[in-house]
Structure 1
């Protein structure tokens, strides 16, 4: 019964991690595409808030519950699929702090542009581009991690390497 409770927490954490994470990502992209610094500043403010207080704790719960399930099920952390999923999850996690920093900068630059009645400038674009591509990389990694967890096949098996 404990395993199923931990699995439930793991699934709920995944829903929050993906739901809030992807929602924040897409809302900020949509706001930036509108080029209105007032809107971008407000959306970025909310994205920073939700990513800090919802998405980040969901990621921590995701890892903790995943490790708990592995322990309860007796899965060795070195098994192919679990090792690969953990490595990709860690790589995605390493992108998270720079993403949060960049979101804060985007919020600040958009708010400054809005206060000055100016459009978003090249300084904003220089922060936005890496934020955007880190998001692409991060969500790609998360989709692969979920694939490995659901199928319990290693990345090498998926790539036909063994």
Structure 2
């Protein structure tokens, strides 16, 4: 039973992590592309909140449950699929940390533009390009981690 509960928590938290990430990315990108500073300010603020409420706890829960499952199953950490999963998860995290900082900056820039009734400023668009690039990297890495979690290739 302990294994099943831990596995359930691991799958649930990975689903929340991935789902929140892809959903937040979709709404933030496409709202930004409307160039409506007011709408963008609202959406980016909610994306920042979603990262703190959903993404951060699951980022912590994933390795805790993952390493515990490895322990319970008796897998050695030296298995290639485990090593790759860890490396790709760390890569995704390395992409996510600057994204969080950029989202906070973008939120402030969009709020100021909305308050002043002006267009989103150039720094917002520079951040958005980096945000997309890092988001794509993290997305691809997590897709591979999902595959490795399920397939556990030899």
Name the TM tier (shorter chain). Answer: over 0.9
The alignment's TM-score, normalised by the length of structure 2, stands at 0.97
Note the alpha carbon deviations across 1:56-114, whole angstroms, 9 max, x for none: 11121111111110000001111110110111001111112111000001111111111
**Equivalent in the alignment of 1:81:** 81
What runs of 5+ residues in structure 1 fail to find an aligned partner? 155-162
The within-5 A match list for 1:50-129 is 50-129=50-129
Count residues with an aligned counterpart.
Answer: 154
Return structure 1 stretches of 4+ with deviation > 6 angstroms. Answer: none
- CA–CA separation in structure 2 for the residues paired with 1:27 and 1:63: 27
Pair 1:136-2:132 in alignment: no
Note the alpha carbon deviations across 1:15-52, whole angstroms, 9 max, x for none: 11011111111110111011100011110100000111
Pair 1:34-2:61 in alignment: no
RMSD: 1.0
- CA–CA separation in structure 2 for the residues paired with 1:44 and 1:130: 15
What runs of 5+ residues in structure 2 fail to find an aligned partner? none
Deviation at 1:121, TM superposition (A): 2.2
The alignment's TM-score, normalised by the length of structure 1, stands at 0.92
**SS of the counterpart of 2:118?**
coil
**Equivalent in the alignment of 1:45:** 45
**SS of the counterpart of 2:7?**
helix
Deviation at 1:124, TM superposition (A): 1.0
